[in-house]
Structure 1
Amino acid sequence: MTLRGRRIYEDPSSSDGQRVLVDRLWPRGLAKDAAHIDVWPKSLTPSTELRKWYHAGSGSFEEFSQRYEAELAEPEAAAALGELRKLAAAGPVTLLTASKDIDRSHVAVLLRVLGSK
């Protein structure tokens, strides 16, 4: 299973495989045809409340990770995780985000939950 995280603003690469947008909101300033997105599973993204809480600086990354993992255990998100695992079993998958710091974002949590970090 090959999974990795990248910023959506980087040019697509031939090694990306399936390109999966894991942000709830469409990235600013990016045309949809330029994004080369294969899948956009919004149920895998942090809830609006959790995203706002974390970006307001109200808590640590560790607490954000715990809260996000709890959201990922909900039925709809768990089903989407299963679909993502199937995609990754078939070939490379790149999780795309507008976040500047991927290592301290929900993408890092997703990669850990999926077993690639």
Structure 2
Amino acid sequence: MPQVKLLRAYDHQEVSHYKGYKILVDRLWPRGVSKSELPYEWWLKELAPSNELRSWFDHQDKHYPKFKTEYLNEIENNPLSDSVLSFLKNIIQNEDIVLIYGAKNEKYNQAIVLKSWLDSNF
């Protein structure tokens, strides 16, 4: 059964070995990674955390609970959410979805929040 998986953009050699539909989920392109190095099918920056929320969070663990709540609220109120979800539901019927993110913190980041939202809607 296909799944939603997470991979860091900085592990781009590993990303290229993963099979599945690869989506970059950051609003900004990951620093130091060239576009030719990172294999991806879609850059979903429209559903990434807003600049304000991203700046406030600043990848500080203590801010994560509120960040998660606020980001889920942004996702739910984003007019693109329904169409993105519908599209990804079609993709996941046949292959894994690989969410690619640039955050250093592998435990507290926007990709984990987005994955949990997708998992709860599939």
| Shorter-chain TM-score tier | 0.7 to 0.9
Q: 1:81 to 1:43 in 2, by over 3 A?
A: farther
Consecutive unaligned residues of structure 2, counting only runs of 5 or more, are none
Task: Verify: 1:100 aligned to 2:104, yes or no.
Answer: yes
The offset of 1:44, in angstroms, is 1.5
1:69 aligned counterpart, secondary structure:
helix
Task: Verify: 1:14 aligned to 2:14, yes or no.
Answer: no
The offset of 1:42, in angstroms, is 1.4
Pairs within 5 Å for 1:1-117: 1-10=2-11, 11=13, 12-55=15-58, 57=60, 60-74=63-77, 75-115=79-119
CA RMSD in angstroms comes to 2.0
The offset of 1:13, in angstroms, is 4.1
Aligned amino acid, residue 10 of structure 2 = Y
Q: Normalised by the size of structure 1, how large is the TM-score?
A: 0.87
Q: Share of identical aligned residues, percent? A: 30
Number of residue pairs aligned between Structure 1 and Structure 2 = 116
Consecutive unaligned residues of structure 1, counting only runs of 5 or more, are none
The offset of 1:91, in angstroms, is 0.4
Q: Normalised by the size of structure 2, how large is the TM-score?
A: 0.83
